[in-house]
Chain A
Amino acid sequence: MAGNLLVNIAWTHVTTRVRQTLVGMAGVAMGVGFTIMMAGLMEGSQIDFLRQLVDTMPHVTVQDERRAAPVQPADREYGAVQMSNVANVNNRPGIRYPESMMASLRSWLPGDVAPSVRTTAIIDHGGRVGITLIGIDPRLEVRVSKLASQMREGQVSDLQRAPNAVIIGVALADKLAIKTGDTVSLIGGQGTQVSATVVGMFRSGLKRVDEGQIYATLGTAQVMIGQSGIVNELRVRLNNPLIADVIAKRVEGQIGYKSVSWQEANSDLLSSFAVRDFIVLTVMGAMLLTSSFATYNIISTITNEKRQDIAIMKSLGMRETAVRSIFIMEAAIIGLVGMIAGWAIGYALCYGWSQITIYNTLTGTNVPISIYYSPRHYLIAGGISLLCCTGAAFFPARKATRVHPVEIIRGAS
Chain B
Amino acid sequence: MNEIALQAVGLVRRIEGAVSHTLVNGIDLAVNKGEFVAITGPSGSGKSSLLYLLGLLDAPTDGEVIICGQPTSKLSEDDRAHVRLTKCGFVFQFHFLLPEFTSLENVLLPMRAEGKMSEKDMQARGLDLLGSLGLQDHAQKRPNQLSGGQRQRVAIARALSNRPEIIVADEPTGALDTSSTEQVFSILREIADQGRTVVVVTHDPALAARADRRLHIVDGKIAQTFEGQKLAPEPTVAAPTDL
Contact = CB atoms under 8 A, between A and B. Distances in A.
Nearest to A3: B115
B100 interface: yes
A203 interface: no
A341 to B, nearest CB: 25
5 contacts: A2-B113, A12-B101, A313-B98, A317-B88, A319-B78
Interface stretch (A35-43, A71-79, A405-413): A405-413
A5 interface: yes
Interface stretch (A44-52, A272-280, A285-293, A304-312): A304-312
A90 B58 CA distance: 92
A277 B171 CA distance: 65
Contact of B98 (A309, A319, A412): A309
Interface in A3-20: 4-5, 9, 12-13, 16
Contacts of B98: 9, 309, 312-313
Contacts of A309: 96, 98-99
Interface stretch (B1-9, B25-33, B65-73, B79-87): B79-87
A21 to B, nearest CB: 14
B115 A1 contact: yes
B52 A318 contact: no
Given A312-B96, A413-B94, A318 B171 contact: no
B96 A311 contact: yes
B94 A412 contact: yes
Interface of A: 1-2, 4-5, 9, 12-13, 16, 308-309, 311-320, 322, 404-406, 409-410, 412-413
Of residues B78, B84, B85, B113, which shows the largest number of chain A Cβ atoms within 10 Å of its Cβ?
B113
Interface residues of B, number: 32
Interface of B: 48, 52, 57-58, 77-78, 81-86, 88, 90, 92-94, 96, 98-101, 109-110, 112-115, 158, 170-171, 174
A311 B81 CA distance: 12
Contact of A318 (B48, B81, B96): B81
A316 B113 CA distance: 9
Contacts of B96: 308-309, 311-312, 315, 409, 412
B48 A5 contact: no
Contacts of B99: 309
A2 B171 CA distance: 31
Nearest to B155: A312
Nearest to A15: B100
Contact of A316 (B52, B100, B110, B170): B110
Contacts of A311: 96
B77 to A, nearest CB: 7
